Amino acid sequence: MKATPSTSWPQRFGTFALLLLALAFVLRSFALFSANALPLQLVLGSSYWPLAAGLLCALIAGVLALRAEWRRAQSGEAQALASLRWGCTALIAGWLGFLFLVDPFQRLWFDLGLGLVAGGYSAFVLLMGILGRRSPRAAFCVDLVSFSLLAGLLGLEVSLRAWAGAYPSPMFARVGGGPSELVQRFRCKPGEVRFGFPCNSAGYYDEEFYRKQPGEPTRVVSIGDSFSVGTVPHAWHYTTLLEEQSALSQERSRLRVDNLGVAGIGPREYLSLLVEEALPLDPDLILISLFVGNDLSVEDVLGDLPDSGLRAWLQRDQVLLAVFPDRVRRLQKEQARLSGRAASQARGAAGGDAQPSMDRSAASQAFPWVLDPLLEEPSLAPETFHNIELGRALEICAQDPPSLQLMKDCLLQAKRAAGDVPLAVMLIPDEFQVEQELWDSISASAKRPLERDRPQRLLMAWFATSGLPVLDLLPVLRDVPPLKDGKRHLYHAFDTHFNARGNEAAAKALHSFLRKLVDAAR
Amino acid sequence: MRLRLYFFIPALWLFVCASCGKTNAEWESQLTDRDPFVAGVAAIGLSLQDPAGARAAIPVLLATIDRSEVGLQAQAAEALFRVGPQHVDLLLENLVVDELMSFDRLGTIKNTLVGAGPRAVQQIVGCLAGPGRQKAGDLGQVLLEIGEPSVVPLINLLEQAPDNKLKNYAAFLLGNLGPRSRPALPALQRASASEDLELRAAAKRAIAQIQGRTSNG
């Protein structure tokens, strides 16, 4: 370090204060580590002792740095006023190291990591002190390069976030890795046969997907949960019926509907699917199917967590520096894959899809209940079914649905991420909202007042101001005349999902709804 | 002297930290933390520190097994494996009450019950004869994995169960335990003379399996 006249006491005090603060953080981290030692041995496994050693080294570095700083102050040795800059360098380096090494973010890892960063800062001060005495030029270079590089990376992240805010795009959508993992976990296996129809290579209950080519029919991508996966043969699913109905009408309105359905997912996963898988297909319109029965009462595992401010900067899937390059690679790979498939699909188009799947006639013989709902076998025990429906009614009809705000936020994010691609929503009611007998039974069991249409009332009021076109299936299904036993039979027996009649009613309503949207978009 | 002071204070701090862990009460207070990771770590800590006193941790461990975003599934399962054998009744209660539990959770409970071994058998058979009838398949699998210690309670179930369906199932399980169920032969022979057709058939099948015969007789 270049010799300069002795620094003033405030400057030396500043350096001291920072080193003392660093030592305090190290001691705090050590205390935390020791208090949680028992579970950490199990949780960290082989990383336990390296972390312990790291904290010990941080402690030693902190003590030595303080000692060295004290001696320099006593001897009147000149100080370079760079400790604040080194502190920033250490913090940014710690931020990047945390992003690279830790996933997902947890407050405990942050608190322990702060001790390591503080130790790193102390070690850096020691190093610069030694280097400064031996080679001031080298110290200057290390100082300049490290700070410039790290500050540049931080500046890049800030710039990317500012750009994303001003110009929303699927490339910048911070949907999180958690929803993607849930989608991976719950999607069907590629080739898995359901009702005689094999799921495609992406694990969806539909024909193979490919990127839309010029001149092809209007492409609609439908996103949803188990209603989209369906409990009927493929030929009876509402997305398939929608394609058939559009094919019977004028060519202009012909639709191809890609069905991205994954059981057990919710609003955050819909957003993730939209960004990661729907948009690469280059759709003309995206439809999100919301089931009011459970999409409005999901546990917001991400939103309810504390330290949201820290997570926004320390959760890897929230940081654009980490997300953006990976997303560019994956989207390019996906687009190339889908485009490649488009070429082979075009060549084989004349012969139609050569999927070894059960045709409609064979399916109706194998599953006769598609033609007569009275032949349906119950999926759940009646008591279990009743308890599920009662639980849902209590969640969404006795109070404002708990994740209503989450749904709205995710839909708005989806609208932003979709950009120029129109986004539409279909609301699927719960069975108790459609079948009177079930509603009467639930009301009797509820022991508190229930407002049957509460979720639709709240949602439709919001949709009116959101700018999102919406199809509410509740009045549509209530208009379906009941069968001889007085029930509408639109849901599979004791199952909670649409049966063939329900899918048919949904497809008919969707067809006229989407046709208007598509024609308006032209 | 000053040099020693520099290192004495941090060394003392290290010593104090190393000797102070959290008490059971401190772990328990964190079980209801809104952060599922904090709750999960507390449950694991309590389970490892005091398995006998970690009853309150079990529901949190079970919930943590299902929370993939927390990243503690394997550790929660291992902690449950250590603490579960001391709280078999609570595990059985969770198994019976939750009809739609995940495969991960169900598998962990069953593994823990198997790990509990002979200690758990009496309670498992009691549950099978009582509120756990809907989960007969799962409980039966556990008893088979536990093996020989299940024989005597199953013999008791065969002889004392209130209805023939349970007796059938007891005979079925004894048969599947194979030669280890030899002590059950007298009870099975009595059951093979029962008035109930299905029980007679189940008992005869079981006897054949125990004796390693495949033909009737």
List average pLDDT for each run of 10 residues in chain A, which is 522 residues long. 54 78 92 92 93 93 88 65 81 93 89 95 89 86 91 94 80 70 80 91 91 87 92 94 83 82 89 89 94 82 71 86 81 71 53 60 88 90 88 91 88 90 96 96 92 95 94 97 94 94 96 88 69
What pLDDT is stored for residue A280 in this prediction? 86
CA distances from B142 to A139, A219, A448, B74, B202 (A): 67, 51, 41, 20, 20
End-to-end CA separation in angstroms for chain A: 69
Neighbours of B168 (CB within 10 A): 22
Distance CA A86, CA A417 (A): 39
pLDDT in tens, B109-149: 999 999 999 999 999 999 998 888 888 899 999 999 999 99
- Considering only the beta carbons, identify the residue of A27, A33, A306 that sits closest to B35: A306
Distance CA A41, CA A58 (A): 20
DSSP code at position A253: G
Distance from the Cα of B187 to chain A's closest Cα (Å) equals 35
Residues of A with Cβ-Cβ distance to B35 under 8 angstroms: 106-107, 305-306
Distance from the Cα of B15 to chain A's closest Cα (Å) equals 10
Domain A172-299+313-345+356-521 sits in which CATH superfamily?
Answer: SGNH hydrolase (3.40.50.1110)
Residue type, A127: L
**pTM summary value:** 0.72
A476: left (phi over 0), alpha (psi -120 to 50) or beta: alpha
Distance from the Cα of B67 to chain A's closest Cα (Å) equals 9
Nearest CA in chain A to B26: A35
Domain segments of chain A: what residues? 9-167, 172-299+313-345+356-521
Burial of A74 (0-12, 13-18, 19+ CB in 10 A): exposed
DSSP per-residue codes, A13-79: HHHHHHHHHHHHHHHHHHHHHHHTHHHHHHHHGGGHHHHHHHHHHHHHHHHHHHHHHHHHHHHT---
Task: Give the dihedral sign, CA A195/A197/A202/A206.
Answer: negative
Joined tokens for residue A473: 């299936």
Residues of B with Cβ-Cβ distance to A55 under 8 angstroms: none
Q: Where does A252-301 show beta strands of DSSP type E?
A: 255-261, 285-291
Indicate which of B8, B31, B75, B80 best probes the interface with A, i.e. most A CBs within 10 Å of its own CB: B75
Q: What is the ipTM of this complex?
A: 0.82
DSSP per-residue codes, B59-93: HHHHHHHH-TTTT-HHHHHHHHHHHGGG-HHHHHH
DSSP per-residue codes, A97-108: HHHHH--S--HH
- Nearest Cα residue to A428 out of A495, A475, A369: A475
The torsion angles phi and psi of A261, rounded to 5 degrees, stand at -115, 130
Distance CA B54, CA A39 (A): 13
What pLDDT is stored for residue A352 in this prediction? 45
What pLDDT is stored for residue A354 in this prediction? 46
Indicate which of A20, A34, A494, A495 best probes the interface with B, i.e. most B CBs within 10 Å of its own CB: A34
For residue A425, list its beta bridge partners: A288, A470
Cβ contact (<8 Å) for A36 and B71? no
pLDDT in tens, B145-192: 999 999 999 999 999 998 889 999 999 999 999 999 999 999 999 999
Distance CA A218, CA A285 (A): 8
Cα maximum dimension of chain B: 94
What pLDDT is stored for residue B66 in this prediction? 85
Joined tokens for residue B116: 């509990």
What pLDDT is stored for residue B138 in this prediction? 92
Interface of B with A (CB under 8 A): 3, 6-7, 10, 13-14, 17-18, 20-22, 34-38, 41-42, 44-45, 48-49, 67-72, 75, 78-79, 99-100
Distance from the Cα of B20 to chain A's closest Cα (Å) equals 6
What pLDDT is stored for residue A70 in this prediction? 80
Joined tokens for residue A244: 């058939």
What pLDDT is stored for residue A301 in this prediction? 59
Distance CA A248, CA A254 (A): 8
Residues of B with Cβ-Cβ distance to A226 under 8 angstroms: none
The answer to whether the beta carbons of residues B174 and B210 sit under 8 Å apart is yes
What pLDDT is stored for residue B19 in this prediction? 66
For residue B77, is pLDDT > 70? yes
CA angle A56, A60, A62 (to 5 degrees): 115
Cβ contact (<8 Å) for B69 and A302? yes
Does an H or E element contain A82, and which? none
Q: What residues contact A156, with CB distance under 8 A and at least 6 apart?
A: A321
